[in-house]
Amino acid sequence: MSEVSVRALTIEYQTSAGWLPAVADAWLDLRPGEITGLVGESGSGKSTLALALLNAVPAPGRIAAGTVELAGVGDVTRLTGKQLRKVRGGALGYVFQASQNSLNPLKTIGRQLLDLGRSHEVADLRALIARAKDLADRMGLDGDRVLDSYQHQLSGGMRQRVGIVFALVLNAKVLILDEPTTALDMLSQASVLDIVRKVHDENQLSTLIITHDIGAVSEIADRLAVMYGGRIVEDGPLLDVLRRPSHPYTKALIGATARITGDVDAARALPGRPPDLTTVARVGCVFRDRCGFAVETCATVEPVLAASEDGRRRACHVEPSTVLSGASGTPAAVGEPA
Amino acid sequence: MAVTTATLGASPRARRPALLAFRTAVLRKPGRVVGLAIIVLFALMAVAGPWFYGRLEIDPDAVYAPPSAKHWLGTDFAGSDVLQEIIVGARYVLGTAALAALITAVLGTGIGLVAGYRRGFTDSVLMRITDFILTIPAFPLLIVLSTVWDFSSPWLMGLVLGGTGWGGMARAVRSQALSLRERGFLEAARGLGLSTRHIIVKELLPNIAPYVAMHLLLSTIAFVTAEVGLFFLGVVPFSTTNWGVMLNQAVFSGGALESPDALFYLLAPLSCIVLLTLGIVLFLDAVDELFNPRLRERA
Amino acid sequence: MIQARGITRTYQTHGAFTGAHAVPALRGVDFTLPDGGAVSFIGESGCGKTTLGKILTGLETFDGGELVVDGVELSGLSARARARYFRRIQMIHQDPYSALNPTRTVEATLGDPLRMRAKEIGGDPGKWRERAAELLTLVGLEPAAVLPKYPHQLSGGQRQRVVIARALTVDPEVLIADEAVSMIDVSMRLGILSLLRDLRTRLGISLVFITHDVATARYVGDGGELHVIYRGEVVERGLTDDVILTPVHPYTQCLLSAVPIMRGLEEPGPDRMAPIRALDERTATPGCLFEPRCPFATQECALTHPTLVPLGGDGAGVGSAAVDVGDLGDGAHVHACLHPAARRVVGVEIGAASA
């Protein structure tokens, strides 16, 4: 049923203090026709998780446990060499941030497409270019002009769209976008989100959007998965999660987002700052230091990601109803602010 | 060498942070330790060598003798010990290179920084001077000067080499300063009203320091080669402990390229040059880390 | 108190083959910033708002118009005297990492301007450490934890707070926040925004808030004015809430439409819209600058250049008096459109009483 199934995935990085987990025991499903938003602050491990879907975790990281099952292919984490290269691009399309220079500055876009085709041993390169032009046109770009341009001649929004073209030109069924709207202004952001939804619907893809902006992704996502300290703490249909968040972190995140509607004074910044690899708690719940609902168990027992209602999962010791209704108290231990 | 965990929590600074950073950076890779050891070895030779040894002994019976227990590297054309000559000669080589490097660093960095930061008229004037210096052919100039001046003291040679060699450094530092100028923290420093002197010395300089240090170490190699080369070509004055002269004698008088007799006489100074260059290059690796606080903490 | 009138800035570029080319970055911007007040500028990238920020801090010159700070017209002063005025206006940059010297600790970064300031006002330079601790606490950081650190050891939010603390070392009267929260995680932005709001109420510092994210402009405190800039021109301005809830210029409406909707919590405005094509600086626009992209453009729009008029009139001046410079600063809602029309483009909270 799922196009991509992530099961018990743990990814570690080597540091001077030994191997530390950047992602711990992650479970995630990407289903056909669904856009999933993976939301987390910096250091939550979301980008690492996304790279693991391509088995592209950079050194000094490694996948320590778990599997990434891709429908029709098998466990991506076990693939190497040519098989892996085929999957990357052929089955899984990955789109980088517009601000990252993931396009070769010395070659035109068209030439890079040809390179892509050749390394995937595409027989008909002409058809590949035609498909790329078609995709570009549907995204509001001038296909011919873009193919003849160098990356510095394109604006941030255009580069983002070119990235999407590259990801889909080989007919991948899974699309992964890493921070597609960061570093773009409002108008470009809106058009990129619009295009992602359109392209997703037209091709019935399984799409994963990784972002720290819960507001932006909520415009187009069908499901929401929230990450904190390397763990997935909540997961479920977008409307349910936003209306009735069942994890204190999700609730705090929604409350900390600057919004165009609503009461300005009701917004509350999250206290403290997010942990990273070296500072994340090793015992108990990773969020307890900043949690207004923490109880005794939270300090000693790590909550497991378990099904709560239909189609929803959460990792928390506190009852969902308490989280939903209660105003949060002062967190137990507040570190320096962000 | 185990490095304590660099956590992101607060840690009190070590009493001598610079020394500690130096030690950590150098010990991180064995190559750097070797490089530093070589440089220190030659420095010791330069400083202590001539005091250690008295006058060179001449032994007419053992001309171009092969290495033995008495003469580890054999003897030269007059029977003097080659090893002794090498060690004593280190002073000239390192002395010249050090002075030339110092002049290049001070003049090149200073002029480059001021020109790059000030821009406008100051920049034009300083760069014209720099261009003039760059067009001076140092090597031929030294050959001509050696007919009038006495280069038996390393300081004079160092002065001329440095005085004609700072142009490249000035240009390079200037372009670094120009690009750094637009960085947020420099704009902020200007906006806060901090003096130009403060900005150049405290804000700009630490950021170009690694670049300057590397450039400097590399030009030291060039200076060494230049002066040895000069003496190899026969620039007077003659001195038996001068590495270049030794090479000259080995090739032209001792026929080192034809017969095996003077081989060690030839190889000794040559190997020293190679060894010194190697030492500098190996140590170069530590320089970036020394000046960049971010790199110091990597696992 | 800052008054800007008709600020104009044009860049001259000389291409090797294309010849001289003039790029107008600002085409006559007016605004008044009262003491302790806040003025926000919104627009897409390249609209000139960053240039405006640089002009206000003295990093850039302007070609036309006048800048009056506390009643003193700056272009009449010598460079030195001007520098003294600009010192009272400090900039908070977008990128907190490049805004701090990576080779210096927070202590060193704060120490130099503090000592300099102490000498200036005749204070005791030896007491700078206490002042540094005071400032760090004011911006919400713990001095002992932060002073010995280098910038790369701090999080983005912390760095931005250090940048703000540094700006406060010279006791400024105005802070220019140029996309100050754009490079910080969304979840941490509110902390910085409330800090800016606090500085306004506690220290009476005025704020010029430059951003492309309209929502953040709501959080900088009461009484703020919102100015919408398009290609160097202000096309609409007024009190922040007025402009957000009842925009009349199509460009403002496009910007507000672009704000993402949190489905489940909000519903999109019924009149949501987008520009009909991308910005192309090469097309000539003798009339309204926004005309090539405007979904409601008419023939008239391509020929007449609208000027700012109060609500109730059109940009040609028909229907109400033209804007008088004396009116600036009172938060009046003005716009520059020949066919202004109120449209509901902003999302509506589900279940809330209508705004």
Q: Check residue A338 and give its pLDDT.
A: 53
For residue B197, which residues of chain C lie inside 8 Å, CB to CB? none
How many Å apart are CA B62 and CA B80, to the nearest integer? Answer: 8
C98 with B202: Cβ contact below 8 A: no
A15 with B5: Cβ contact below 8 A: yes
Q: Check residue B100 and give its pLDDT.
A: 92
Chain B contact present for C81, CB below 8 A: no
Tell me if the bond preceding B12 is cis, omega within 30° of 0. no
C279–chain B nearest CA distance, Å: 27
Least-confidence region, from A91-100, B129-138, B215-224: A91-100
How many Å apart are CA C163 and CA C176, to the nearest integer? Answer: 12
Confidence of residue C315 (pLDDT cuts 50, 70, 90): low
B299 with A279: Cβ contact below 8 A: no
Name the residue among B213, B261, B245 with its Cα closest to residue B109. Answer: B213
Which of residues 3 through 42 in chain B touch A, CB cutoff 8 A? 3-9
Q: Check residue A99 and give its pLDDT.
A: 59
B5 with A276: Cβ contact below 8 A: no
Q: Check residue A60 and give its pLDDT.
A: 84
Confidence of residue A237 (pLDDT cuts 50, 70, 90): very high
Both tokens assigned to C304: 């007449």
Sheet-wide strand order for C225-230: C89-92, C174-178, C206-211, C38-42, C225-230, C233-239, C334-335, C309-310
Confidence of residue B246 (pLDDT cuts 50, 70, 90): confident
Mean pLDDT taken over chain A: 86
Least-confidence region, from A18-22, B221-225, C318-322: C318-322
Residue C96 has pLDDT above 80, yes or no: yes
Contacts 24+ apart (CB under 8 A), C228-231: C228/C41, C228/C42, C228/C43, C228/C252, C228/C255, C229/C29, C229/C41, C229/C42, C229/C43, C229/C47, C229/C48, C229/C49, C229/C52, C230/C43, C230/C47, C230/C289, C230/C290, C231/C24, C231/C27, C231/C47, C231/C48, C231/C281, C231/C289, C231/C290
For residue B24, which residues of chain A lie inside 8 Å, CB to CB? none
What pTM was estimated for this model as a whole?
0.84
Read off the pLDDT of each residue in C202-206 and give the average, rounded to a whole number.
Answer: 92
C284–chain B nearest CA distance, Å: 32
Residue C355 has pLDDT above 70, yes or no: no
Confidence of residue C238 (pLDDT cuts 50, 70, 90): very high
- How many residue pairs from chains A and C have C-beta atoms closer than 8 A? 150
Three-class secondary structure of residue A56 per DSSP: coil
Q: Check residue B231 and give its pLDDT.
A: 84
Q: Check residue C353 and give its pLDDT.
A: 44
Chain B contact present for C116, CB below 8 A: yes
What confidence tens digit (pLDDT) does each residue in A252-307 have?
Answer: 999 888 888 888 888 888 887 788 888 888 888 888 888 888 888 888 888 888 88
Read off the pLDDT of each residue in C238-245 and give the average, rounded to a whole number.
Answer: 90
Q: Check residue B139 and give its pLDDT.
A: 82
Q: Check residue B1 and give its pLDDT.
A: 33
What confidence tens digit (pLDDT) does each residue in A174-209 have?
Answer: 999 998 888 788 888 888 898 899 889 988 999 999
How many Å apart are CA B240 and CA B249, to the nearest integer? Answer: 9
Confidence of residue B296 (pLDDT cuts 50, 70, 90): low
What confidence tens digit (pLDDT) does each residue in A43-81 have?
Answer: 888 989 999 998 888 888 889 899 999 988 888 888 888
Read off the pLDDT of each residue in B36-55 and give the average, rounded to a whole number.
Answer: 82
Residue C321 has pLDDT above 60, yes or no: no
For residue B9, which residues of chain A lie inside 8 Å, CB to CB? 279
Residue B51 has pLDDT above 50, yes or no: yes
Cβ atoms of A271 and C296 within 8 Å: the answer is: no
What confidence tens digit (pLDDT) does each residue in B250-271 have?
Answer: 888 777 677 777 777 788 888 8
Substitution target from C138, C164, C187, C240 for chain A, most A beta carbons within 10 A: C187
Read off the pLDDT of each residue in A318-325 and give the average, rounded to a whole number.
Answer: 83
Q: Check residue A332 and give its pLDDT.
A: 52
Residue C316 has pLDDT above 90, yes or no: no
**Between A88 and B16, residue with greater pLDDT:** A88
How many Å apart are CA B280 and CA B258, to the nearest integer? Answer: 32
Confidence of residue C206 (pLDDT cuts 50, 70, 90): very high
Q: How many other CB atoms are there within 10 angstroms of residue B214's CB atom?
A: 15
Read off the pLDDT of each residue in A214-226 and give the average, rounded to a whole number.
Answer: 93
Strand partners, C232: none
How many Å apart are CA C336 and CA C243, to the nearest integer? Answer: 13
A193 with C275: Cβ contact below 8 A: no
Read off the pLDDT of each residue in C204-230 and give the average, rounded to a whole number.
Answer: 90
Would you say the C-alpha torsion A173, A178, A183, A185 has a positive or negative sign?
Answer: positive
A186 with C157: Cβ contact below 8 A: no
Phi, psi (degrees; rounded to nearest 5) at C6:
55, 40
Q: Check residue C354 and give its pLDDT.
A: 41
Q: Closest chain C residue to B190 measured between Cα atoms?
A: C59
Chain C contact present for B185, CB below 8 A: yes
Burial, A152: exposed, middle or buried (Cβ in 10 Å; 0-12, 13-18, 19+)?
exposed
How many Å apart are CA C210 and CA C93, to the nearest integer? Answer: 10
Chain A contact present for B299, CB below 8 A: yes
For residue B6, which residues of chain A lie inside 8 Å, CB to CB? 16
Read off the pLDDT of each residue in C312-337 and give the average, rounded to a whole number.
Answer: 67
How many Å apart are CA B205 and CA B197, to the nearest integer? Answer: 11
Q: Check residue B295 and give its pLDDT.
A: 63
Residue B236 has pLDDT above 90, yes or no: no
Q: Closest chain A residue to C266 measured between Cα atoms?
A: A261
What confidence tens digit (pLDDT) does each residue in B70-89 have?
Answer: 777 777 777 777 787 888 88
Both tokens assigned to C261: 């909707």
Mean pLDDT taken over chain B: 81
Chain C contact present for B118, CB below 8 A: no
Residue A238 has pLDDT above 90, yes or no: yes
Q: Closest chain A residue to C272 measured between Cα atoms?
A: A190
Q: Check residue B4 and give its pLDDT.
A: 32
What confidence tens digit (pLDDT) does each residue in C134-156 have?
Answer: 999 999 898 998 999 999 888 88
Confidence of residue A242 (pLDDT cuts 50, 70, 90): very high
Instruction: State the Cα angle at B239 between B236 and B245, rounded to 5°.
Output: 70
Q: Check residue C352 and give its pLDDT.
A: 53
Chain C contact present for A256, CB below 8 A: yes
Confidence of residue A331 (pLDDT cuts 50, 70, 90): low
Both tokens assigned to B106: 């001070």
Confidence of residue C18 (pLDDT cuts 50, 70, 90): low
Phi, psi (degrees; rounded to nearest 5) at B24:
-60, -45
A16 with B8: Cβ contact below 8 A: no
Confidence of residue B293 (pLDDT cuts 50, 70, 90): low
Chain C contact present for B190, CB below 8 A: yes
Residue C243 has pLDDT above 80, yes or no: yes
Q: Check residue B153 and give its pLDDT.
A: 81
Q: Check residue B6 and give its pLDDT.
A: 35
Read off the pLDDT of each residue in A5-14 and give the average, rounded to a whole number.
Answer: 91
Both tokens assigned to A180: 């597609």
**Between B51 and C206, residue with greater pLDDT:** C206
Q: Check residue B14 and give its pLDDT.
A: 43
Name the residue among C124, C123, C2 with its Cα closest to residue C55. Answer: C2
